[in-house]
Chains A and B, each alone.
Chain A
Amino acid sequence: MKTFNYHSAKDSKEAKKLSSSNSAFLAGGMTTIPSMKLGLATYKDIIDIKNIKKLSGISVSGKSIKIGATTKHTEVANSKEIKKTIPSLSSLAEGIGDPQVRNRGTIGGSIANNDPAADYPSACLALNAVIHTNERKIEASKFFKGMFETALKKGELIETVEFQIPEKSSYQKYPNPASRYAIVGVYVAKHKSGVNVAITGAKPCVYNDKDLAKALVSSFSSNSISGMEVNSSNMNSDIHASAEFRASLVVTQAKKAVEAC
């Protein structure tokens, strides 16, 4: 690992001030540190945001849940409020990586990173999340731009993620056997306003599958999507799963999710 300057920011303002084109925020460090160790990323300044009190914590208010950006996966997995209101979200958090990763990794870091195989981005799309930053509010549907790409500008800091509480929902991950990230993860959520079927792992970036959602709006049962085929032409393909296999998993995992709702 190359040497760097370490800063601990006390609030969002300071974090922003310290940031530059050659800096990174340090939340759980579960992505940043391994990529620095492998020489895939080098930074001049590392700005630790874990000591910014305001960024951590969970609160439920009527129709939504707000989760602070530096809230750890374990906290989401174990939160009584979340288990009561959106149990699928705590089980998603419980299925991320391993205990060590869950004890350090954060929700803000996960969505800022927008790994094509990460779990949380699908929750954001399915649960109509709003991402609150130090500068603005961004709707999830406008936040995830492409592979490892988001709407965040340099120095922009996620402060909280606000999820809409659905009528029912379920996340079904088909894990990569090696890394245990998602080969395909399908998050189905039924809201009063409609149904979302958010898919992670299948394509370079998380997306809402409109066709599956439409079929489920007319009748919310696994039968209504059984036998559907999704187009595999722009899906990921690697040694673990071809595009064709991923396309098939999208439907089977969606069926499982509907059944588990």
Chain B
Amino acid sequence: MASLVGSRVERKEDKRFLTGKGRYTADININNQTYAYFVRSPHARAKITKIDISKALKASGVVDVLTGEHIAKDKIGGLIAGWAIRSEDGSEMKCPPNPPLAKDNVNFVGDPIAVVFAESLEEAKAASELVNIDYKILKAVVNLSEAMKDDTIHKDIDKNLCYDWLLGDRQKVKEAFDKADKIIKLDITNNRLIPNAMEPRACVVDYNSASEEITCYTTSQNPHLSRLIMSAFGGVAPEHKLRVVAPDVGGGFGSKINLYNEEIVCSWASKKIERPIKWVAERTESFLTDTHGRDHITHAELAVTNDGKFLGFKNETIANLGAYARVFGTVTPTYLFGPCATGVYVMPAAYSNVKAVYTNTAPVDAYRGAGRPEATYTIERIVDKAAIELGMDPIEIRMKNFPTEFPFKQTLVHQIDSGDYVAGLKKAKEMADYDGFSARKKDSESKGKLRGIGVTTYFEACGIAPSPVVMMLGCGVGLWESAEVRFNPTGQVTVYTGSHSHGQSHQTTFAQIAADELGVPIENIDIVHGDTDKGTFGMGTYGSRSLTVGGIAIVNACKKIVDKGKRVAAKMLEASPDDVDFKNGEFVVANSNKKKTIGEVAFACYLPGVRDEVKSPLPEGEEPGLKESAFFDPANFSFPAGSHIAEVEIDPETGEVKLDRYTAVDDFGTIVNPTIVEGQVHGGLAQGIGQALTENAEYDETGQLITASYMDYTMPRADNLPEFNLGFTCTKATTNPLGVKGCGEAGSIGAPPTVMNAIINALDGQEIQMPATAEKVWRACKNLKKTKNKAA
């Protein structure tokens, strides 16, 4: 049997998704269900002076109306930050309480205050208008750069500052800067993004009064963690009385890592009103209340020698947390950001200093890449600026500063096990026809257009684990994964995994690796995930960790199956287990033609007695059955890397940017399914290009989200994107048996600086901030003309 790892196995998911048979949370209906509609704050910051639900309670079809008062009375806990980050001075971070329903204060537009349950959605919505709330409106804190000087939003949180964090050594950096020939300075903003999963958030909750069990169907990237938080911190029910099921999930990009207010409220309320509850977010609610991403202001400095060697790096960043600190809210702008900010380079000294502040905007949390796109954007923009100021080629300056030996101890945290950055950039340069750029530029200029080329090289720390490290850095839980592999007596296999897919095709990729490990045809393998009642615990899908951590747990469980299979086969074949080899699904006794298939062995494991010809195959002391489980906690993060090159053509009259060519060469270690990996790269690139060219979440000065619909929030569309030119290099990860590194976030990490460097190159080095909208580019082109005219 040929190995399936590395082959373009057709996606098992395609049939149901493409024929409209996916089963999402909103597809679930429970007999006798009520419909929930949330009353939300229309103000960014206000004191609630009165809530009157009496009229709403009497409205047609209303079953109940609940508020923060009820939540407080029932002692239901709120949402939490999952990572404890310390400030440079050693003090602990400051997080405000975030009750599921706001009782006294509201802190962003969309903050939920009350919930109406009714027999129909229309009735719930109509009654919600009768919930009478009086507010004392307060001045909203919206502007990130001013937030530390503004009114304090939360009691006892001075300057709206959650923490002032430092990673690195200021003194060493100072010494490096003192020795520098030149200091390159850069001020950038990393624009706020709204994840925009195609499937809006939703939950359907069913309380069984006989078993006193709550079942919550929800749109989650990590149902197990949701249950843990809802139980341990929310106090909704003990874990064994709470089942969380995430069926098919239509995208998340990080926004569905968090447990949200609505899931806690509906789970708690279903028991209280003894009725099933259905809630589905409207698109406007998604814009307003899904966690947003990015939103940094950064000042960076790079110390260089005249011949382009890097000596030191400073990164001073203000990160927006929004109104509350959520699960990955505090770690995203620190440990997921700071260490990667020195890029793929040998950087003798560096520090990252991040001030995370609260504002009256939606909470900001992990979004595809989480911290690493912000880091890569910072270093890759400043490296390009250094190349410009030193008159060097952008590829040359990068090559000059690459590490060439691995493992490579990166400046701030990471020990990078494997990689070959030189090979990646060389390949990208060839594939992009870098040398042909000047001819293409001439061609563009003959048509009155500008053309620019941009380069980025990145690495990312993903496969988030290992537990001892993440816990040392402040994580509230360990980040291992687990799996269970069960053989049926008749030879098919069910694999239970704690990882969950929200569009990544785990059912295919995981089946491929199990098929290879067990020698069982892929169609005989089922992957079960997303249900806390089915299978083992998991820490969730994010940080490109499902294959590198969850997938390896499957491999390890399979290896235990094979080990037991060897012992059983040895008994059946009257040989010593040491002489039994396992290959292509067969246990073979060395130097003989005696063998048993794994199916035969599995069957035998379930028939351990003696009857007629059948004799128990089980060695003494061996348990019947064939089922094994494993937990996997890797020795290190994994470190994908890559080199991206883009070309843009700009119409100076209209400011339109056409992304004309895009080459991405990535090193993801072993690739299990090239089709799926390419799909992940395409999706990531689209989102990264969206950040660079079109997407921007904008609030006005009162804290109203002005980009709260697709009429104003500009998603990238197919016609914004070129044909992608993808290539791969492979250096295997040494910290897991498959050598895999993860691929889900690479595109969104590499694309923003690549595209922006290309635009800035076309603009003769003139800097502009993301997103490079037509008007900004048009203005820059006008400046360009002016300076050219002056020069002439």
- A: residues with CB less than 8 A from B are 1, 3, 38, 174, 176-179, 239-242, 245, 248-249, 252
Distance in Å: Cβ of A239 to nearest Cβ of chain B: 6
- B: residues with CB less than 8 A from A are 122, 284, 653-655, 694, 698, 706-707, 710-715, 773-775, 778
Distance in Å: Cβ of B555 to nearest Cβ of chain A: 45
Contact B654 A249 (CB under 8 A): yes
Q: How many Å lie between the Cα of A38 and that of B283 in the bound state?
A: 11
Q: How many Å lie between the Cα of A57 and that of B27 in the bound state?
A: 40
Q: A239-B706, A239-B707, A245-B778 are in contact. Are A178 and B653 (CB under 8 A)?
A: no
Q: A177-B694, A239-B707, A252-B653 are in contact. Are A245 and B713 (CB under 8 A)?
A: no
Of A176, A178, A240, A248, the contact of B715 (CB 8 Å cutoff): A178
Contact A178 B712 (CB under 8 A): yes
Distance in Å: Cβ of A136 to nearest Cβ of chain B: 34
Q: A177-B694, A177-B774 are in contact. Are A239 and B712 (CB under 8 A)?
A: yes
Q: How many Å lie between the Cα of A101 and that of B176 in the bound state?
A: 60
User: Which B residues lie within 8 Å of A248 (CB)?
Assistant: 653, 778
Q: List 8 A-B contacts (CB under 8 A).
A: A177-B774, A178-B714, A179-B710, A239-B707, A241-B775, A242-B775, A248-B778, A249-B654
Q: How many Å lie between the Cα of A241 and that of B778 in the bound state?
A: 11
Contact B714 A177 (CB under 8 A): yes
CB closest residue in chain B, given A238 = B712
User: Which B residues lie within 8 Å of A177 (CB)?
Assistant: 694, 714, 773-774
Is chain A's binding surface mostly helix, strand, loop or mixed? Answer: loop
Contact A179 B706 (CB under 8 A): no
User: Which A residues lie within 8 Å of B714 (CB)?
Assistant: 177-178
User: Which A residues lie within 8 Å of B653 (CB)?
Assistant: 248, 252
Q: How many Å lie between the Cα of A204 and that of B334 in the bound state?
A: 46
Contact B715 A239 (CB under 8 A): no
User: Which A residues lie within 8 Å of B122 (CB)?
Assistant: 1, 3
Distance in Å: Cβ of B697 to nearest Cβ of chain A: 11
CB closest residue in chain A, given B710 = A178
Interface centre among A239, A241, A248, by most chain B C-beta atoms within 10 angstroms, is: A239
Contact B773 A178 (CB under 8 A): no
Distance in Å: Cβ of A12 to nearest Cβ of chain B: 33
Of A1, A239, A242, the contact of B698 (CB 8 Å cutoff): A239
CB closest residue in chain A, given B779 = A245
Q: How many Å lie between the Cα of A1 and that of B120 in the bound state?
A: 12
User: Which A residues lie within 8 Å of B707 (CB)?
Assistant: 239
Q: How many Å lie between the Cα of A1 and that of B698 in the bound state?
A: 28
Of B694, B711, B773, the contact of A179 (CB 8 Å cutoff): B711
Known: A177-B774, A239-B706, A241-B774. 10 other contacts (CB 8 A): A1-B122, A38-B284, A174-B654, A178-B713, A239-B707, A239-B712, A240-B773, A245-B774, A245-B775, A252-B654
User: Which B residues lie within 8 Å of A1 (CB)?
Assistant: 122
Q: How many Å lie between the Cα of A240 and that of B775 in the bound state?
A: 8
* In the A-B complex, the 5 residue pairs with the closest CB atoms: A178-B714, A179-B711, A245-B775, A252-B653, A177-B714
User: Which A residues lie within 8 Å of B712 (CB)?
Assistant: 178-179, 239-240
Interface centre among A174, A178, A240, by most chain B C-beta atoms within 10 angstroms, is: A178
CB closest residue in chain B, given A251 = B653
Distance in Å: Cβ of A37 to nearest Cβ of chain B: 9
Interface centre among B122, B284, B653, B710, by most chain A C-beta atoms within 10 angstroms, is: B653
Q: How many Å lie between the Cα of A241 and that of B712 in the bound state?
A: 12
User: Which B residues lie within 8 Å of A239 (CB)?
Assistant: 698, 706-707, 712
CB closest residue in chain A, given B284 = A38
User: Which A residues lie within 8 Å of B774 (CB)?
Assistant: 177, 241, 245
Distance in Å: Cβ of B644 to nearest Cβ of chain A: 23
Q: How many Å lie between the Cα of A240 and that of B653 in the bound state?
A: 16
User: Which B residues lie within 8 Å of A38 (CB)?
Assistant: 284
Q: A239-B706, A249-B654, A252-B653 are in contact. Are A178 and B711 (CB under 8 A)?
A: yes
User: Which B residues lie within 8 Å of A179 (CB)?
Assistant: 710-712
Q: How many Å lie between the Cα of A243 and that of B775 in the bound state?
A: 11
Q: How many Å lie between the Cα of A36 and that of B284 in the bound state?
A: 15
User: Which A residues lie within 8 Å of B654 (CB)?
Assistant: 174, 249, 252
Distance in Å: Cβ of A191 to nearest Cβ of chain B: 27
Q: How many Å lie between the Cα of A248 and that of B785 in the bound state?
A: 15
Distance in Å: Cβ of A232 to nearest Cβ of chain B: 13
